[in-house]
Amino acid sequence: MSNNAKARVIGMGSYLPEKVLSNQDLEKLVDTSDEWIFSRTGMKERRIARDDEHASTMGAEAGRRALATAGKSADDVDLILVATMTPDYTSPSTAGLVQQMLSAKNAAAMDVQAMCSGYLYALTTAKAYIESGLYRCVLVVASEKMSSVVDYTDRNTCILFGDGASASVVTGEGAGLQVDTVSLGSDGSLAELIWIPGGGSRCPPSAEMLESGKHYFQMSGREVYKHAVRRMASTAQTCLDTAGVTADQISWVVPHQANLRIMEAITKSFVIPSERVYKTVHKYGNTSASGVAIALDDLTREHALSAGERVLLIAFGGGLTWGAMVLKQVEG
Ligand code: UT7
């Protein structure tokens, strides 16, 4: 492999838990309705992990499937990156657990924390490592067990989230989706708009912390909505400008699957027809870091991409963090 080879995703695989939590199920838990949830978010149902399924186990299964699709073995992997905001443990990393579950004995392993933007941040990290020549085969896993941090008595948040994982094998050669252009950003001054305030070193676990519910995911939905629309539209435009391509040269847009209305608003701003915006939000809800990756995997299984076709990924999450990426299908 030459050192100036461009990184590309040569195989993907996903894992969604079997258990379905529908809007009707949520009506029995909190004061809400199928009509409210669907009209405000576009969601119908989401998947929920079993008690014995974790970010690591779901991520490892997605990893096995991705390696099989790519025609690679666990021995080929020299770095595992796991994007998650719901790690099995505060320490050590979930990537280390995935390394052990896959018996990927030649791999280094670390987590990437960028909340819902995690997949784009991890894929960018993989790109940098591959293109520097330091690693040759990186397994990027995005895995979330959001049900473990959601308060199922809070109707503002519990209707939104689901669990699931997706993995991508990234190398510098072979047919796949080449990572052409990346645009990432962050604004830590707005950390408290989407967060889990308790359980870390600033507010360690205690009876008082549990009593106050600080271990649960909290979000100022209306504020976040405004930032999400603004940041996703602008980072996507920056990415297109950097790539030197116009919106009509993009075959598919795969945005963060947080809310159908947000997706419609951002794509309107740079004029992409709704039917070219790929959506899984109705069936999986918001699966945080894994959402864009699950949707991208779903897209490539439903629609074969020809060489030269481009896909635009757009993400937004807590931090705040955001990002966009232009991928181009290349031949081997
Ligand atoms: O993944 C990270 C990024 N996350 C996002 O991008 C999410 C961004 N935010 C959103 O998608 C939306 O803000 C939500 C879907 C979370 C909420 O939709 P909204 O249209 O912004 O509703 P709202 O928060 O302004 O609430 C409107 C009303 C409120 O009642 P009042 O105060 O107007 O009387 C809420 O109490 O709807 C009420 N409400 C509900 N009603 C029925 C809030 N949640 C529910 C519910 N069922 N589940």
Residue type, position 97, single letter: L
Residue 96 CA, chain-centre distance (Å), reads: 19
Q: What is the pLDDT of residue 2?
A: 52
The dihedrals phi and psi of 216, each to the nearest 5 degrees, come to -90, 155
With H, G, I as helix, E, B as strand and everything else as coil, classify residue 48: strand
Q: How far apart are CA 308 and CA 178, in angstroms?
A: 10
Ligand 1 pocket member 156 (CB < 6 A): yes
Residue from 142, 124, 82, 112 nearest 288 by CA: 142
Ligand 1 touching residue 182 (CB < 6 A) = no
CA distance 166 to 63: 7
156, 194, 280, best to mutate for ligand 1 pocket (most atoms within 8 Å of CB): 156
> Going by CA atoms, what residue is nearest to atom 22 of ligand 1?
222
Residue among 24, 46, 225 to mutate when testing ligand 1 (max atoms within 8 A of CB):
225
Cβ of residue 194 lying under 6 Å from some atom of ligand 1: yes
pLDDT tens by residue, the chain, 332 residues: 555 689 999 999 999 999 999 999 999 999 999 999 999 999 999 999 999 999 999 999 999 999 999 999 999 999 999 999 999 999 999 999 999 999 999 999 999 999 999 999 999 999 999 999 999 999 999 999 999 999 999 999 999 999 999 999 999 999 999 999 999 999 999 999 999 999 999 999 999 999 999 999 999 999 999 999 999 999 999 999 999 999 999 999 999 999 999 999 998 887 788 899 999 999 999 999 999 999 999 999 999 999 999 999 999 999 999 999 999 999 98
- Amino acid letter, 327: L
Phi-psi domain of 145 (left: phi exceeds 0; alpha: psi -120 through 50; beta: other): beta
Pocket of ligand 1 contains residue 259 by CB under 6 Å: yes
- Ligand 1 centre to CA of 220 (Å) is 9
Cα 225 to averaged position of ligand 1 atoms, centre (Å): 9
CA distances to 81, 182, 243, 247 from 240, rounded to whole Å, are 26, 9, 5, 7
Q: Which helix (H) or strand (E) holds 130?
A: helix 118-132
Whole-angstrom Cα distance, residue 143 to residue 160?
Answer: 16
Cβ–ligand 1 contact at 85 (below 6 Å): no
Could you identify the atom of ligand 1 that is nearest to the CA of residue 288? 1
| CA of residue 219 to ligand 1 center, whole Å | 10
With vertex at residue 108, the alpha carbon angle to CA 103 and CA 114, rounded to the nearest 5 degrees, is: 110
Per residue in 300-314, is it b (16+ CB within 10 Å) or e — as a string? Answer: beeeebeeebbbbbb
Q: For ligand 1, is residue 220 a contact (CB within 6 Å)?
A: no
pLDDT at 119: 98
Tokens of 92: 């050590």
What's the pTM?
0.97
Residues serving a catalytic function are 116, 256, 286
Question: What is the distance between the alpha carbons of residues 96 and 105, in angstroms, rounded to a whole number?
Answer: 11
**Considering only CA atoms, which residue is closest to atom 26 of ligand 1?**
222
- Going from the N-terminus, what domains does the chain have, and what CATH number goes with each? 8-173 (3.40.47.10), 180-330 (3.40.47.10)
DSSP state of 161: B
pLDDT at 1: 52
* Ligand 1 pocket member 317 (CB < 6 A): yes
